[in-house]
Amino acid sequence: MSPRTSRRSPFMIAAFILAVLCCSPRANGADTLHSWNSGPTKFAVIHFVRDVTTEGGPGFVPPAGRIAVFSHDGTLCPEQPVPAELAFLMDRIKMLASKHPRWMTKEPFKSALSRNMKALAASGTRGILELTAAAHSDMTAEEFETTVTNWLAKTRNPKLNRPYNQCGLLPMLELLDFLHSSGFKTYIVYRGDAEFLRPWAEKSYGVPPEQVIGSSVKMKLEVHKGVPSLVRRPEFDVLEDGPGRPGAIYRVTGRRPIAAFGNSDGDIEMMQWTAAGEGRHLVLLVHHTNGGNEFAYDRKAMFGRLDRGLDIARKNGWTIADMTKDWNRFFPKTGQ
């Protein structure tokens, strides 16, 4: 071996290690999506990610354009028997009721206190906003965060017997991991109060607070205990389901997503808008078909109704994840 070759060799090894480490660590979906059964749905996901991450390929999308949006309730986690935030809201109303004796006879408080879901659903957005105004405001942003965190620590989804922030659907968590390791920026699109989800979105889903797009309360800077703080006011800017979603997403992201994941009629427009973008895209609908492992519902559900969306998805050839056919595990071990 000549001295020259011998000097080169450490650099070649270094260069090789660097090449391996510096290249975007494009995960192989087969290594990540363990809870997905082999079949056309899993194939569609892997195929899409491979196409948009293959440099020089016809479907390549630079990392800045790899925007994926996920609906929350029913897509990333169960929304039955009631969505997490509604459970929180009812608990808060119950806790505050002793200071508001009139609530016992006044709607929608009366229905919230008696957990009359049908009457609550009938009170519509206006009813829910009235409850939220009473339960979510007149405290600082930091106090609200603490309130949410404390509630999560002592509450569980009654059927699944898991803390609400450990109810993420395992196949969707794997999908998030796969997208993150493939250079995607993922956003959660949430009809509820963004500040309810933000304290736990990063730990539960790997999505940082600034990537949670949701409804919001008006916040006003006030001097609170001597410190200028944001105080939550009982006024809302509601992220409407349906046609309002694409605008709300664009307002935050400034780009049209290339992947959208939803599960209900409220997600249709977000998915149509994503599907209409130029270039490669993935639009995937989660269909709750497994009452044994999770919940089974669609066209007649009180929360997360999927009726028109199912027809539109089938007509347009969108990818449908049928929980029973496509998934083999539903939740990670608790405590993970």
Structure tokens given for 19: 């090449």
For residue 212, state whether it binds a second copy (rule: CB under 8 A).
yes
End-to-end CA distance of the chain: 52
Binding-site member from 56, 58, 101, 254 for a second copy (CB under 8 A): 254
For residue 155, state whether it binds a second copy (rule: CB under 8 A).
no
How far apart are CB 192 and a second copy at their closest, in Å?
14
What are the start-end ranges of the H helices in the chain?
Answer: 3-22, 29-32, 40-53, 84-96, 109-113, 117-122, 124-136, 141-153, 170-181, 194-205, 244-253, 268-275, 308-316, 323-326
Structure tokens given for 191: 């009809």
Are the beta carbons of 187 and 262 closer than 8 angstroms? no
Which residue stretch of 113-121, 128-136, 160-168, 206-214 sits at the interface with a second copy (rule: CB under 8 A)? Answer: 206-214
Query: Which 71-130 residues touch a second copy, going by CB under 8 A?
Result: none
Cα(74)–Cα(84) distance, integer angstroms: 11
How far apart are CB 150 and a second copy at their closest, in Å?
18
Using alpha carbons, list the distances in angstroms from residue 104 to 88, 99, 120, 121, 137: 18, 11, 14, 18, 20
Structure tokens given for 100: 């508001």
33 or 76: CB nearest a second copy: 76
Tell the burial category of 52 from Cβ atoms under 10 Å away from its Cβ (0-12, 13-18, 19+): buried
Letter string b/e over residues 1-26, b meaning 16 or more CB atoms within 10 A of that residue's CB:
eeeeeeeeeeeeeeeeeeeeeeeeee
Number of residues that bind a second copy (CB under 8 A): 46
How far apart are CB 235 and a second copy at their closest, in Å?
11
Binding-site member from 251, 299, 308, 314 for a second copy (CB under 8 A): 251
For residue 193, state whether it binds a second copy (rule: CB under 8 A).
no
Binding-site member from 10, 56, 58, 101 for a second copy (CB under 8 A): 10
For residue 137, state whether it binds a second copy (rule: CB under 8 A).
no
Using alpha carbons, list the distances in angstroms from residue 226 to 147, 222, 223: 21, 9, 6
For residue 13, state whether it binds a second copy (rule: CB under 8 A).
yes
SS3 of residue 119 by DSSP = helix
A 10 A CB-CB count for 50 gives 15
How far apart are CB 8 and a second copy at their closest, in Å?
10
Binding-site member from 229, 290, 293, 324 for a second copy (CB under 8 A): 229
Cα(14)–Cα(11) distance, integer angstroms: 5
Binding-site member from 252, 296, 302, 312 for a second copy (CB under 8 A): 252
How far apart are CB 254 and a second copy at their closest, in Å?
3
For residue 272, state whether it binds a second copy (rule: CB under 8 A).
yes
Residues 161-180: x where in contact with a second copy by CB under 8 A, - otherwise, as a string: --------------------
How far apart are CB 272 and a second copy at their closest, in Å?
5
Structure tokens given for 185: 């920026």
Binding-site member from 52, 194, 260, 320 for a second copy (CB under 8 A): 194
Of the candidates 109, 83, 39, the one whose C-alpha atom is nearest the C-alpha of residue 295 is 83
Residues 17-56: x where in contact with a second copy by CB under 8 A, - otherwise, as a string: xx--xx----------------------------------
For residue 279, state whether it binds a second copy (rule: CB under 8 A).
no
How far apart are CB 281 and a second copy at their closest, in Å?
12
Cα(233)–Cα(332) distance, integer angstroms: 37
Binding site for a second copy (CB under 8 A): 9-14, 17-18, 21-22, 64, 141, 185, 194-195, 198, 202, 208-210, 212, 216, 218-221, 227-230, 237, 243, 246-247, 250-256, 269, 272-273, 275-276
